[in-house]
Amino acid sequence: MVLHTSPYPSAFLSFLSRLSWAFVFPCYWLLDRLLASCVATSLEKRRRSQDPCSFLALGVLISTPLYLVLLLASLPFAFIGFLLWAPLQTVRNPYIYSHQKPDKHGAEQGTSAGTGAALAEWRPQGRSFCFGSANVCLLPDSLARFNNLADTQRRAREVGKRIRNGASRPQIKIYIDSPTNTSISAASFCSLATQGFRRTSSLDHRPEPVVTTETETEALTECPVHPSGGTSSDCPVHSTGAQNSSECPLHPNGEEHAPDCAIHQFAESSGECPVHSNINQNSEDCPLHPAGVQISITSPDSEPIEAEKGNHQTGDGDTGSLESRTASRESLVRFHAADGGISPNNTLSQHRTSVFKRPIGRKRRHGDDGFDHEISAFFPANLDFLCLQEVFDRRAADRLRRQLHRYFPFVLSDVGRYGWKGCCSRFKFLNSGLLLASRYPILDAHYECFPNGRSEDALAAKGVLFAKVQVGSSAQDQRVVGYIACTHLHAIEGDSSVRCEQLDMLLEWGAEFKRATSGPTDEEKVLEDQVAFDVVLGDLNFDNCSSEDKLEQQHALFTHYKDPCRLGPGEDKPWALGTLLDTSGLYDEEVSSPESLQKVMENEEGRKEYLVFPASKNHCPSQKGRKIPLKGNGRRIDYILYKEEGLQPDWKVDIEEFSFITQLAGLTDHLSVAARLVVSTGEEET
């Protein structure tokens, strides 16, 4: 297959398309503005009620008749442009593939944006990959207002900024073994040490305790600070003059007698240095590493990522998304800044800690509950693949793609068909709205349109985007690949049969795509690809708890793919959240920022106020102040599904983390979801 880098097969056809759109666009824009002026969001209504004589209300009164006059004047030009544009859609390519090469800054950092490091030899112990999915509701402004959202162009730019700033930050995770205590209330790392924190580092997945720097990973032995083994000149304990001296190795700034330092407190009470005392190794009394808590840092520079210059600095896109402040977490980041794990210029507003309570006796990657799950205010660090839905507006898609390209080198956008060409005879005013961004090279892509759309859903070319990505190569020079399917199903309530038919098509088309792309692509290639993962992402428009969605819940899709949030048909895991927000409350102060929305989602009563729940005859139309008991935690219609086995002999895919993400608060009516999958090859135990 050939990846289409332009919407048309020739430059002349592209020119004709641009010319026709130049005739159509004024009419399209004026119609959009005219309709938008008639539909106000709840935020605009609130402002008008507070100030009836405001400039906003005056502007609407003046602009509405002006838009109407200009719209009528532009209709003849739009008709001419439409006659030229519509036939061109029969030869238009179904997607646009764009690749942005690493910039100079990325090259200096040694990151290859998914080209060099991603194609490195596949490690015997396997790899981990992070997937994200989000419905961003980037409709034309007049249509987005029916979902209580406005200013599509601004939102598109802000969505891209928040995603790349969230995904490109180093990630700090605190794993707590205690079954009861998940609080972090210390004011400095030294006081945190007395509570049982141990520092480790993590790249692809959390390893045994080691110290990882940007340039090397070295095991340390015979050191109470590093129980994994080894000695190194980089260790503050083993550095010259540190041993058997009065200078504390954790205070490089000369604070030799800090009153709150656990090292000095222990030494003063016992007369012996706890760092150099062999009896304190792996002891519960050790202030540096008592059993109970692990702190893990993941740096995006260690992954195949094209870093934007200044990505870790708070920018325009960070407003309301990277400004959480907690004293203990801030001091934790400052502690790591001293040993090279994080730049000293970083502050807590750029790096957020995630706290997980680890079940007692839990074995990693074993059992249904053997993975981390959280409600996060940020997209996961080192996000590898991102599937977006409802990226309908063309100008908004361009703005969003430019922002995402500063983190993701490879993007498939403008997916779908327009006009009458395609899956059915109904005219398609909108494309599929799908967008796929990847840090790894895309080898093949294919789009299929659902032929059974109904009502207003039939006006958009909804379908499935399939992609084959290369994530490495084996020692025998075999390509290691993964398959991704992005989709957005029929949205009309009560049309369960339509969605089930679309799920049938998804499975059938996916099998055909794998067969078509699994064989050798040229004469030189004789070895078949090794498949690392097979993932389905998107907005399926049904949940696993509604009685109205029983047909979809029992579909064969869930026998081929695993849903990490699901116990079975009609039953989700207790921690699973709904992803569809109540549009009437999008601008409430309680959910106006990612951090505040995160807090609300962590509270059961808050979820009842701001999530959409399955419809019932006993439920009143408005969710505000509802006292009727509600089943579950809301409608979960955004999914990440994966195949566990059957990809390669002895290979297995397990989930390591699952997140419900609030970083797009105020920009869309959906919560985003993300999952990190670990691909094991069966060789790690030998």
Give the total residue count for the chain.
Answer: 686
- Would you state the structure tokens that stand for residue 35, as one six-digit string? 């309709």
Beta bridge mates, 353: 172
Count the alpha carbons within 13 Å of 425 in the hemisphere toward its beta carbon. 0
Q: Are 262 and 247 in contact (CB under 8 A)?
A: no
Strands of the 638-642 sheet, one edge to the other: 442-449, 463-473, 479-488, 530-539, 638-642
Q: Cα–Cα distance between 107 and 61 in angstroms, integer?
A: 53
- Would you state the structure tokens that stand for residue 404, as one six-digit string? 């995402």
Q: Which residues contact 86 (CB under 8 A, 6 or more apart)?
A: 419, 420
> Amino acid letter at 39?
V
Beta bridge mates, 176: 293, 357
Please state, in angstroms and as integers, the Cα–Cα distance from residue 586 to each residue in 171, 324, 622, following that order.
Answer: 28, 20, 14
Phi/psi zone of residue 148: left (φ > 0), alpha (ψ -120 to 50 degrees), beta?
left
- Would you state the structure tokens that stand for residue 356, as one six-digit string? 């997980």
424: which DSSP letter? S
Lookup result for tokens 């290369």: 470
Q: Are 533 and 483 in contact (CB under 8 A)?
A: yes
Give the 3-state secondary structure percentages of the chain, helix then strand then coil, rounded to 5: 30, 20, 50
Please state, in angstroms and as integers, the Cα–Cα distance from residue 476 to each residue in 121, 525, 526, 528, following that order.
Answer: 9, 12, 11, 11
Q: Are 39 and 142 in contact (CB under 8 A)?
A: yes
Write out the H or E segment, with its range, that includes residue 615: none
Q: Are 13 and 89 in contact (CB under 8 A)?
A: no
Lookup result for tokens 């659902």: 450
Q: Cα–Cα distance between 36 and 145 in angstroms, integer?
A: 7
DSSP letters for 144-169? HGGGT---HHHHHHHHHHHHHHHHTS
> Amino acid letter at 610?
Y
Q: Is 490 a catalytic residue?
A: no
Lookup result for tokens 């309570």: 357
Q: Which of 4, 205, 264, 670 is catalytic?
A: 670
Q: Are 68 and 34 in contact (CB under 8 A)?
A: yes
Please state, in angstroms and as integers, the Cα–Cα distance from residue 661 to each residue in 171, 601, 652, following that order.
Answer: 14, 10, 26
Collapsing DSSP to helix, strand or coil, 518 comes out as helix
Lookup result for tokens 């074993």: 366
Q: Cα–Cα distance between 305 and 385 in angstroms, integer?
A: 11
DSSP letters for 93-138? -S-EEEE----HHHHHTT--TTSTGGGSBPPTT-EEEEEEEEEEEE
Q: Are 329 and 184 in contact (CB under 8 A)?
A: yes
Q: Cα–Cα distance between 231 and 585 in angstroms, integer?
A: 56
Q: Cα–Cα distance between 120 and 117 in angstroms, integer?
A: 5
- Would you state the structure tokens that stand for residue 331, as one six-digit string? 């001091």
Q: Which active-site residues does the annotation give?
A: 670
